[in-house]
Chain A
Amino acid sequence: MMRVELVRRSQHSALFSAVSPLIALAITALIGAIMFAALGKSPVAALHAYFIEPLTEIWSIHELLIKATPLILIAVGLSICFLSNNWNIGAEGQFVMGAIAGSVLPVLYPGLTGPLVLPVMLVMGLAGGAAWATIPAFLKARFGTNEILSSLMLVYVAQLFLDWLVRGPWRNPEGFNFPETRSFHADAILPEMFSASGRAHYGFVFAILAALVVWFVLSRTLKGYEIRVLGESPRAGRFAGFSARRMVFFAFIVSGALAGLAGIVEVSGAIGQLRPTISPGYGFTAIIVAFLGRLNPLGIVAAGLILALSYLGGEAAQISLGVSDKVANVFQGVLLFSVLAADTLIRYRVRIVRPAPARLEPAQ
């Protein structure tokens, strides 16, 4: 039996490490082209629809920023978690709880207006997400509970809580009993950056700021060092006097807060009210974004934009080529697969292990 093994390379090429995402993109484009050809569509037109068309119009670039904003905000926070070996899979729930907490003012006190409303909403969004993330952090630090399961299951709790709110106590009294809250008043809406050309709101600025701050913390401060050491070698971290327990809280609270901010920013900037579903799975897609960006906040900004592009491209391809929306999902899957494969092959080489030479064959 022939076996395939991955062998760690003693040193990996710096050049290839740097360009690996580009290689992955090229491979994705190639596989995509083959797939579209197999579907009987022109590969050139399809790739154009995916990667070029969304960038050819200003309004579409606005939409790209809107789509990328929650992905980047959440993924930046997740990078701290993943680097420090805390597997927060529940960002989707923290996103929802941030959105709920941030919406308290415009939904329950619609009469309260003024320039202070929005900042308070954003702070409450941060707090809501952070508080929700504290639960798995506490369970892990105190009882050693597996945070993957607890954070993931809290997603469903958060989603059902939102569902209950918008169908029950927070339902719009003038809304014919349909499940949605009243629309936010003007002071509760996150303003658009350049309203003349499109509806991109200031959330993208928050995303960039968050990425810069976290990048600075990770690469230039002792805290960043602590995060990495505790992630890579908890034992070494202990010897250095770092507390793994406090790191659990730190990582979860920061990433929860950013996910919560993403939630209220999405609701206030892009949707304008709470509805039973406010996210098409940003919290989960952000996990892909975090790894595509190689857990580097600046890389995450690029990865967030690329993933957002593939969403918009998927729509463009549906319209201009009439391909199913499922193709867009396949495309995203191929992209993630290529990135992970490229990264793996840079760090490891493939060795094909042949079975010991059969007895009857002469040795060469």
Chain B
Amino acid sequence: MKHIAKLTLAAFGALAATGAAQAADAKACWIYVGPIGDYGWSYQHHQGLLAVEEAYGDRVETAYLESVSEGADAERAIERFARSGCDIVFTTSFGFMDATNKIAARFPDVKFEHATGYKRETPNVATFNSKFYQGRYILGQIAASVSEEGVAGYIGSFPIPEVVRGINSFMLGAQSVDPDFEVKIVWVNTWFDPGRESDAAKALVDQGVDILVQHTDSTAPMQVGEERGIMAFGQASDMFAFGPNTQLTSIVDDWASYYIERVGAVLDGTWEQVDVWGGLADGHVVMAPYWNMPYEVAAMANETEKRIMVGDFEPFTGPINRQDGTEWLAEGETATEGELLGMNFYIEGIDDQLPE
């Protein structure tokens, strides 16, 4: 018995020693809300982590925690990273906002980067987000061009500004092609639940939609589309492999360049608090290849993408009316970032009640 105890201790000692020997210049850590195998949101963040490893090799050590729930667990997970020698911690879900700020206040030497939030209570907290809605405008244009029924089915996660903004932008794009285009919206109240997403997709198809749009993270809706012969758009990652005959395009979140830049800043000692909201122009939002559609449609999508990229066009540009017909943006007026960030109303032409 004693021998075993000694042996065990020796093994731990050895482990501790090897751990210390391979000290990197910096340690970067990620917290994901979903599993890295979701092929959506968390998967793409993890691709960012892999890109950082690729870019810096042995200079940067990485670690991650997946499927961290947004409550008391998040705070512990973040604290664990802060204590385990991470120099920079990326917390990649809106629900980690308060926990991130709380821990950041207690660990001033560690840098924190919170995705999609707006609170930066101490100088060591930065926030970053992407203008996915720019891509959704393009989806709307494609949907209205390709659809025969003139109705899209939209699977929403939660009625938060991020998602509402996406729906509005999608409809603006669709209306630019077909002013009478309709959308049916189903809220599944989850970011990742293949079963529920798939049920929602089937229900929408049964109601006669011939285009599926999703703002949830699994590939289930794409797979339903493939099965039922309905066109669909991917979300967060290029889901082409799950719908080779179905995917029109996909809004790909590309965090790699941002992560490489920020971890690099930690390495150089030049890290500073920022609030980044990048879009197509910054390469943070990337459109997957336009596929399964007529050439003219792809050309139009390409054209819109280019115009947004060079700053020639912004989806939320007036005239835009609210759902009840009252004016929101006058001719030529563009929405402010504040209005976009807190968006909680539909634009005109959406025949649906926003859950309150």
Contacts and interface: CB of A to CB of B under 8 A. Distances in A.
Interface stretch (A114-122, A268-276, A335-343): A268-276
A266 interface: yes
A324 B118 contact: no
A44 B66 contact: no
A318 B66 contact: yes
Contacts of B35: 324-326
A277 B71 contact: yes
B160 A177 contact: yes
B146 interface: no
Contacts of A163: 189
Instruction: Name, among A176, A279, A312, the residue most crowded by chain B CB atoms within 10 Å (CB to CB).
Output: A176
Interface string A255-287: 000000000001000111101111110000000
Contacts of B188: none
B356 A319 contact: no
B94 interface: yes
B344 interface: yes
A117 to B, nearest CB: 20
B84 A277 contact: no
A168 interface: yes
Nearest to B76: A63
A361 interface: no
A66 interface: yes
Interface string A94-132: 000000000000000000000000000000000000000
Task: Sort chain B's interface into a size bin.
Answer: 35 or more
B65 A325 contact: yes
Given A277-B71, A315-B65, A319-B80, A177 B342 contact: yes
Nearest to A63: B76
A196 B15 CA distance: 30
A81 to B, nearest CB: 25
A322 B50 CA distance: 13
A275 B84 contact: no
A199 B73 CA distance: 13
A168 to B, nearest CB: 5
Interface in B55-90: 63-67, 69-73, 75-77, 79-81, 83-84
Contact of A266 (B29, B72, B79, B98): B72
Interface in A314-340: 315-316, 318-319, 322, 324-326
Contact of B342 (A176, A322, A325): A176
Given A179-B160, A275-B95, A325-B67, A167 B72 contact: no
Given A63-B76, A168-B356, A280 B71 contact: yes
A183 interface: yes
Given A44-B12, A57-B83, A315-B77, A275 B118 contact: no
A216 interface: no
B84 to A, nearest CB: 6
A278 B71 contact: yes
A44 B73 contact: no
A315 B268 CA distance: 30
A176 B118 contact: yes
Contacts of B15: 42, 44-45, 48
Nearest to A273: B98
B158 interface: yes
B49 to A, nearest CB: 11
A59 interface: yes
A194 interface: no
A275 B96 CA distance: 11
Interface in B321-356: 341-344, 355-356
Interface in A172-221: 176-179, 183, 199
A270 B12 contact: no
A279 to B, nearest CB: 7
A44 B71 contact: no
B11 interface: yes
B8 interface: yes
A324 B29 CA distance: 15
Contacts of B342: 176-177
A179 B158 contact: yes
Contact of B161 (A57, A178, A266, A276): A178
B159 interface: yes
Nearest to B97: A178
Nearest to B12: A48
B66 A167 contact: no
Interface in B152-202: 158-161, 189
Given A177-B343, A177-B344, A277-B70, 14 more contacts: A45-B11, A45-B15, A57-B83, A167-B159, A176-B118, A177-B160, A178-B161, A270-B75, A275-B71, A316-B80, A319-B29, A324-B35, A325-B65, A325-B66
25 contacts: A42-B11, A45-B11, A48-B15, A59-B79, A63-B79, A66-B72, A176-B118, A176-B342, A177-B160, A177-B344, A178-B94, A179-B158, A266-B72, A270-B75, A272-B98, A273-B98, A275-B70, A275-B71, A280-B71, A315-B65, A315-B77, A315-B80, A319-B29, A325-B65, A326-B35
Interface of B: 8, 11-12, 15, 29, 35, 63-67, 69-73, 75-77, 79-81, 83-84, 94-95, 98, 118, 158-161, 189, 341-344, 355-356
Task: Report the 10 A-B pairs with minimum CB-CB distance, sorted nearest first.
Answer: A270-B72, A177-B344, A176-B342, A280-B69, A44-B11, A325-B67, A168-B356, A63-B76, A319-B63, A318-B65
